Chains A and B, each alone.
Chain A
Amino acid sequence: MNIRTVFIAGAALLFAATAVHAQTPVKIGVLNDRSSLYADLGGEGSVVAAKLAVEDFKAADKGLKVDVIAADHQNKSDIAVNTAREWFDQQGVDLIVDTPNSGVALAVSEIVKEKNKVFINSGAASSDLTGAKCTPNTIHWTYDTWQLANGTGSAIVKQGGDKWFFITADYAFGHALERDTAKVVKDAGGTVLGSVKAPLNTQDFSSFLLQAQSSGAKIVGLANAGGDTINSIKQASEFGIVQGGQNLAGLLIFLTDIHSLGLKTAQGLIFTASFYWDLNDDTRAFADRFQKQTGRKPTMVQAGVYSGVLHYLKAVEALKSAKDGAAVVTQMKATPTDDPLFGKGEVRADGRKIHDSYLFEVKKPEESKGPWDYYKLLATTPKEKAFRPLSEGGCPLVASAAK
């Protein structure tokens, strides 16, 4: 055997080896608020959740080479849109996940459609993402304003809370949440006495609380999130809203909000959520792993990122490519979802992910066994009833499918 044959044989072997290990590249971009009022409920924790999903999927063994990158959108649509463009055009990102702040999410959803990539939203709430503004490339994963409004609103009206006043975050999300909740309240026979729009990231809610107090409403609905909810609940207790005979309805509450408020202030709040870490053995096991890396238990947003990425990777594995976003989403819609955190479910034609929804109450300090033991399960809404019926959203995709 001369040196030339050895060389050719070697080259052939090398080529064969690379051919066997030819991997499908997948790049996931976690785009969320990493420094401001929504950083704790998503932030770095969402990146950890995405990486845990990649790890659990054993992506490398299945021929996927997955990279996870992240950026801070600072709650500004322009920054988010620029980042998304840069990611798609220069970094080869295939999937954007998380992206709280409905205003930002609606803007990102447009870019994702334009570039034919995939957007799995876990952090934003506006039900418009699967309604009038739905796209073939967007999946709304964890929760939405319709679900929150119906879960919490109808439960409270049933308990006799029929006169409402809203304190609403003055942007797309707050408006959607107030609109959806007000409809539920009116449909159940209640009345809405008024509302006040507070600018996003307000430090002082006392003026708004005073208006709520003098409105004569039985229920003060907080159509806001994160730091805004924390400050409004904290200051409501200072102004004796509850002692005065009114009740607070936190329409969107995250685990980190309760952690920040402390049970003493937050006890008794009733709210709707899609996930709690202490639901079953699977969620607890995940929460423990998550806590080891972040020092906190996961919020429903972070759990949604995990579950969304897992389902996405399954679809990419089946298609052997992540490049055609609409095709990946179609594949995701065709396959039922099943994961340790949200159980069995599906992705609907309008992009709405369907799973059970829960009504929780915040425990009293004496009921809690320690840090992060905060929620008491009151009721479970089965997945068929938890989200807006497909026909009512006005999503053009559904209309065209029906034709």
Chain B
Amino acid sequence: MFELIGVPPQALFGQLLLGLINGSFYALLSLGLAVIFGLLNIINFAHGAQYMLGAFAAYLLLNNPFYSIGYWPALILAPVIVGGLGMLLERNLISQLNVRSKTRPLIFIASFVATFLALAASHLSGGAVPDLASLAGYKLDPAAAYGIAAIGALLFTSLLSATNMLKAPDADQNTDHLYGLLLTFGLAIIIQGLFVNQYGSSGLPYTIPDELKGGQNLGFMFLPIYRGWVIVASLAVCIATWLIIEKTKLGAYLRAATENPTLLSAFGVNVPRLVTFTYGFGVALAGLAGVLAAPIYSVNPNMGADLIIVVFAVVVIGGMGSILGAIVTGFMLGIVEGLTKVFYPEAASVVIFVIMAIVLLIKPAGLFGRTA
């Protein structure tokens, strides 16, 4: 308490506000994680990479040779793109984890490898199949060509699975979360590695949109307008998501799908599609957070990796899978962290984990978690 007196109340309010701003990122990210865990039972470790992809999508929409797309359209487009990639991922890899027959993953992997090799070979041979990139007059380095080949292969295999040749099995609750965790963790590392390779580690510039430049002197602190906008936007999205899941019919289906997928499909609901959609939505939330973060941090391949562990701690403290828990603890821990930076900055990077340890000891299901 003695140190509290040392800090003028004005500075304290300033730090509280900053905590709230950081908290809004934590809330948005942990909300996506909670939705995915609550409804799919998947610990989505790729969430940080998907947040990074959101920022990169915004950057690439703005700086591409074809048509420059600014911040506001990117705010809608980038989450859609990242969410779409997430749906492809769920359809082709994650859903394969809970398959009962052992053959389907093999078929999937075989067709993926075959398509990938075909596309890569066509690029490298530069002959048989005309290379789209070289037709357009762009020079592609091999890394980018392989990346495009991989995306092409993923698209192609998902087309196959859509036409029942590689039908995705029904989702069930038998999956051990460990497999999902390992798969998504591995993917996150691969994605980040590819981006570091392509874009370097020090990041790329993305400026604040003109409408939100400048700031407001609140008397106790200088509030950049953009940061204010981040709080408003993420609060709105958090509340909307909570309303959809708790108050709408769609939300009721989602919740039913977690309780008893077999019964729900007996009512004629397409549960696998619901699951894919939900994963895509959770990933889109990460993408949205990425676009919001792009003008504040430099667009950096490691931005998600640095954040994801903290966000996981937030989810664990709030209670795995609890939507409300994710939102409330997200904001709360942002504030706690902000205050730590004033009183004992060296501890700022560990304080959340200390809280996590304490909460787990006292209330193992988390603050808002339900014990099964």
**A interface vs B, CB < 8 Å?**
35-41, 43, 170, 196-199, 201-204, 206-208, 210-211, 213-214, 226-227, 230-231, 234-235, 238-240, 244, 256-257, 259-262, 264-265, 296
Contacts and interface: CB of A to CB of B under 8 A. Distances in A.
Interface in B269-311: 296-298, 300, 302-303, 306-307
Nearest to A168: B345
B180 to A, nearest CB: 25
Nearest to B310: A203
Contact of A201 (B10, B227, B306, B345): B306
Nearest to B295: A238
B134 interface: no
Contacts of A230: 202-203, 298
A214 B306 CA distance: 28
8 closest A-B pairs (Cβ-Cβ)?
A: A262-B205, A39-B201, A207-B341, A40-B202, A260-B202, A199-B349, A40-B200, A238-B224
A211 B342 contact: yes
B186 interface: no
B201 A43 contact: yes
Contact of A36 (B201, B224, B341): B201
B175 to A, nearest CB: 31
B215 A227 contact: no
A227 B299 CA distance: 11
Given A206-B22, A265-B207, 14 more contacts: A37-B302, A39-B200, A41-B202, A43-B200, A206-B21, A227-B300, A238-B215, A238-B224, A238-B226, A240-B214, A240-B222, A256-B202, A260-B204, A296-B200
Contacts of B207: 262, 264-265
Interface in B307-322: 307
12 contacts: A40-B200, A41-B202, A43-B200, A170-B346, A197-B346, A199-B348, A210-B11, A234-B296, A238-B226, A238-B296, A239-B215, A261-B298
Interface residues of B, number: 40
Contact of B196 (A35, A202, A238): A35
Contacts of B200: 39-40, 43, 256, 260, 296
A100 to B, nearest CB: 12
B164 to A, nearest CB: 41
B27 interface: no
A203 B345 contact: no
A238 B224 CA distance: 6
A204 B22 contact: yes
B193 A35 contact: yes
Contacts of B338: 207
B203 A265 contact: no
Interface of B: 8, 10-11, 14-15, 18, 21-22, 193, 196, 200-205, 207-208, 214-215, 221-222, 224, 226-227, 296-298, 300, 302-303, 306-307, 338, 341-342, 345-346, 348-349
Contacts of B203: 227, 230, 260
A259 B21 CA distance: 27
A207 B340 CA distance: 10
A292 to B, nearest CB: 13
A273 B338 CA distance: 34
A203 B297 contact: yes
B293 to A, nearest CB: 9
A83 B329 CA distance: 41
A37 B345 contact: no
A226 B196 contact: no
Contact of B227 (A36, A203, A234, A238): A238
Contacts of B21: 206
A262 to B, nearest CB: 4
Q: Which of A35, A201, A235 has the most chain B CB atoms closer than 10 A to its own CB?
A: A35
A155 to B, nearest CB: 25
A208 B298 contact: no
A204 B26 CA distance: 12
Contact of B222 (A40, A197, A213): A213
Contact of A259 (B14, B202, B214, B348): B202
Given A207-B342, A238-B296, A227 B201 contact: yes
Contacts of B208: 238
B296 A235 contact: yes
Given A206-B18, A207-B342, A37 B201 contact: yes
Contacts of B298: 227, 230-231, 234, 260-261
A36 B302 contact: yes
A38 B10 CA distance: 36
Given A37-B201, A231-B298, A265-B205, A197 B22 contact: no
B345 A197 contact: yes
Given A234-B298, A260-B204, A210 B14 contact: yes
B11 A211 contact: yes
Q: Which of B193, B215, B221, B345 has the most chain A CB atoms closer than 10 A to its own CB?
A: B345
A35 B201 contact: yes
B93 to A, nearest CB: 24
B52 to A, nearest CB: 12
Given A39-B196, A207-B341, A211-B11, A239 B224 contact: yes
A234 B206 CA distance: 10
A198 B221 CA distance: 20
Contacts of A256: 200, 202
A100 B202 CA distance: 15
